[in-house]
């Protein structure tokens, strides 16, 4: 499943300029820690980082949706 998400985001993000990739990365890691040296990373490195972060973000979003659905089903005694 992780590979499917990664392939999707690599295609989707692979057409964007490096500046946009950095905006995505900054948005995804802003709650955490920003220690990347933007000037020393190649486009491929930045793309790979953006793909990994976007994939992780999507997986966690899906897990949150599953938790909400499970809670709703539990409250209705369906599960």
- What's this model's pTM, rounded to 2 decimal places? 0.51
- Does residue 16 surpass a pLDDT of 60? yes
pLDDT-based confidence at residue 2 (cuts at 50, 70, 90)? low
Tell me the average pLDDT across 31-56. 80
Tens of pLDDT along 45-73? 889 888 888 888 888 788 788 888 888 88
Name all contacts of 7-13 with Cβ < 8 Å and 24+ positions apart: 9/50, 9/51, 9/54, 9/55, 9/58, 10/47, 10/51, 13/47, 13/50, 13/51, 13/54
Higher pLDDT, 30 or 22: 22
């Amino acid at each position: 499943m992780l590979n499917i998400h990664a392939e999707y985001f690599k295609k989707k993000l692979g057409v964007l300029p490096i500046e946009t990739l950095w905006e995505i990365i900054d948005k995804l890691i802003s709650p955490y820690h920003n220690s990347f040296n933007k000037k020393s990373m190649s486009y491929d490195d930045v793309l790979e980082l953006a793909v990994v972060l976007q994939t992780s973000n999507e997986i966690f979003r899906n897990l949150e949706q599953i938790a909400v659905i499970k809670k709703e089903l539990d409250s209705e005694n369906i599960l």
